[in-house]
Structures are given as C-alpha cells and as structure tokens.
Amino acid sequence: MPTSFVSANSPFARLRFVLVETSHPGNVGSVARAMKTMGFSDLVLVNPRFPDVLTHPEAIALASGAVDVLENAVIVSTIKEALEGCDLAAAVSARLREFSPPVLDPRELAQKLSLAESVKLALVLGNERFGLPNEIVEKCNYLIQIPTNPEYSSLNLAQAVQVLAYECRYALVGSLKSESSIGFKGDIAAPTDIDAMFVHLEQGLIALQFIDPASPKKLMPRLKRLFSRTQLEMEEVNILRGMAKKMLDKK
C-alpha cells in the first residue's frame, strides 16, 4: 500500500482518497490538485479506465503543480487492496441505498476523524457516470452525502473531493484563519506595552487640552474599552505612541 510523502506523524497522513474505476484522466489530475491544496497526498486508484492515467498528459496538466500526488499514487485491482492499512472506510454517494451503512454529511465525518486520533480513514468515490456499486458501499462503515441543491445536486469528482478534503482539514487543524499567509500579521503587544501607550496617549491629549487633567471624566476608560475590542499589535502601539509624541512636541 502507498507510503504518503506527508509525514507519517502528520494528521494529514490519516486520510486516503480512493477512486474506483475513474474514466477521465483529467479528473484524476484535478483530484490530485484538490487534495494537495488541503494538505493530503494519499491517493489510490482501483481499476482506472486508462492504465497509464497517472502519467497521462491530461492528468498532469490538470494536476497543475500537484504532480507529486500523482507520482506517489498507487493503482490496484480490487477495493480490498485499496483499503489495506485503513481502519475505516466511507463511501461517497449522491443517492441513498436501500441497504447502506449509517449516513453522515462531510462535516460529521470530519469530526469523527479528528476525534479518533489513531484512525486511518479511506474516502471511496466511484465512477463519474455510475458512482459506486452496492457491493462496495456495503463494505464501508459510512455513507457520505454532500448536502447540495436538491434541484441540481451534480458535483464532479474533483469538486466532491475538494469539499471532503476541506472539511477534514478544518476538523484536523482547527480554524484555517490561523494558518493563512494572506495579510500582514505582526507581533501581539504585551499588556505592559499597551498600558505604557495609554499613559503616553493621555499625556498627549492633555497637552492638546482635549482632556482636562482636573476633570478627565471617562475618556481614557472609554478609549481603553475601544482598543480592548481589537488585538493590538506592537507596531500599532508604536504608531499610537508616535502620535502621542507629536502631540507633546506640538505643545
């Protein structure tokens, strides 16, 4: 069974994507891209239509930078081989079956994955046109349904993988905001630095005669309350102290 290039100690090594009898090489490439954007790399194909799908030009083109996922993927001939090394399996299907394992949505499944820290889970997706046969669904522990518009519930393979991968990543690492590289993030100011800033700012406001030191009323407590609703960074504290200095220089 495949060895993922994601560290074995990483939570992302605990999820495998299994594609059963995939028809289009481009879809395999798009799945690889969807997986990599969320940090996953363990991909297994069961009897794909094209034996050379992992090196097919269309797959490589649509992987778009996720060729390493394709290079580490494995092709097997049976679902039993694909699930080797996994503790649980979840079939992904847009339709309910008369006899099926318990039905979960992606978020519920992701929560189960995050709570079971030693469990390896396989997400099993079927052919683009026919989906998964009943005999494979019945081998799985869960049936996953993505809540979509009931009037148009069609998701292509890569879209379904993207939804599942996102939910699992979010559950495994918590809020994605803390990981984002978008935007500037400075050092959080220490309480002592913030207190010193308020002293400096008060001196500047007194210098401008905006505050009467004999009767300051509640301006400073209100300013403190205002800034307490933000998480001041050190650079912002320095800006405010620079403003206070200019107020004092003006006097």
Rounded alpha-carbon distances, angstroms, from residue 100 to 119, 135, 142: 22, 10, 8
Burial 186-197 (b: 16+ CB within 10 A, else e): eeebeeeebeeb
Say what the pLDDT of residue 175 is.
Answer: 45
3-state secondary structure 90-144: EEECCCCCCCCCCEECHHHHHHHHHHCCCCCEEEEECECCCECCHHHHCCCCEEE
pLDDT at 251 over 80: no
Check residues 142 and 215 and name the one with the higher pLDDT.
142
pLDDT tens for residues 174-198?
Answer: 744 445 555 566 788 888 888 999 9
17: left (phi over 0), alpha (psi -120 to 50) or beta: beta
Say what the pLDDT of residue 88 is.
Answer: 92
**How many CB atoms neighbour CB 43 within 10 A?**
25
φ, ψ for residue 30, nearest 5 deg: -65, -35
Say what the pLDDT of residue 106 is.
Answer: 94
The DSSP code for 233 is B
Q: Find the mean pLDDT for residues 222-246.
A: 88
pLDDT tens for residues 46-94?
Answer: 999 999 999 999 999 999 999 999 999 999 999 999 999 999 999 998 7
| Contact yes or no for 60/52 (Cβ under 8 A) | no
Looking at the structure, give the CATH architecture of the domain made up of residues 11-179: 3-Layer(aba) Sandwich (3.40)
Do domains 11-179 and 191-250 share one topology? The answer is no
- pLDDT-based confidence at residue 138 (cuts at 50, 70, 90): confident
CATH topology of domain 191-250: Helicase, Ruva Protein; domain 3 (1.10.8)
| Tokens, residue 173 | 């690492």
CA 174 to chain centre: 8
Q: What does the domain layout of the chain look like in residue ranges?
A: 11-179, 191-250
Give me the torsion for CA of 87, 93, 95, 97, rounded to 10°.
Answer: -30
Say what the pLDDT of residue 11 is.
Answer: 83
